[in-house]
Amino acid sequence: MSMAERKYRVVEMFRSIDGEGRRGGMSAQFVRLAGCNLRCSYCDSRYALYGEEEECRYREMSADEIVERLDRRIGRITLTGGEPLIHGGVTDLLRRFSAEGYETNVETNGAVPIGPLWEAGLRDKVFCTLDYKLPSSGVERRMLMDNYFCLGARDVVKFVVGDDGDIAPMLSLVERMERHYSAHGEPMPQIYIGVVWGLYDARRIVELMLDEPSLSEARLQLQMHKFIWSPDERGV
């Protein structure tokens, strides 16, 4: 199938601020694709998933149609889902965004290989915000560990803490990553730590960051959009 013929299942497109991550608080354009290969306990975009209580509604759009709807005044795109990397031809879409002059943040869940992005020559054209799903998510066993050892300084590894049982696995992975990147003389990806909305006290993360040497360069992230708008509101 040619790039011109390929259709992407788009749940929504909107302008807002990035609510978290390295572009937190900056204006961005969101392209949310339908479908996901995981079912996390704290998912806040179930309307983008197939087979949930609420019907997943999407529009099939070509890359041309998506680009035509973008606002050229905002040079940042966040490609999200669901899980965007399960879509065929997603590297073509990302190349198109780059050719149009946009910087794209790919939000991906850790259970899909990200190596194909780099093999497609996208390392300098996009960056990844890569989740690591901790035990409280219910899907930690689905994480692909190779993903966490092929990142660059522009990329982000994101942890979302839901209970105290998540702390030790998070620290273990950060320390493993530190050893790996140090041994290879490469910079660490950026570490961001958030909490499950309404379930875990963010002050405990701050205390942890102050006490744990491995988190000395980590950043606390709060979901800004949930403070500005209703936590259940879409398209913000």
| Tens place of pLDDT per residue across the chain (236 aa) | 555 689 999 999 999 988 888 998 899 999 999 999 898 888 877 887 876 656 778 999 999 999 999 999 999 999 999 899 999 999 999 999 999 999 999 999 999 999 999 999 999 999 999 999 999 999 999 999 999 999 999 999 999 999 999 999 999 999 999 999 999 999 999 999 999 988 899 999 999 999 999 999 999 998 777 777 776 666 65
Domain locations in the chain?
8-228
User: In whole angstroms, what separates CA 206 from the centre of its chain?
Assistant: 22
Has domain 8-228 been given CATH number 3.20.20.70? yes
Separation of alpha carbons 90 and 25, rounded Å: 26
| DSSP category for residue 19 | -
pTM of the model: 0.92
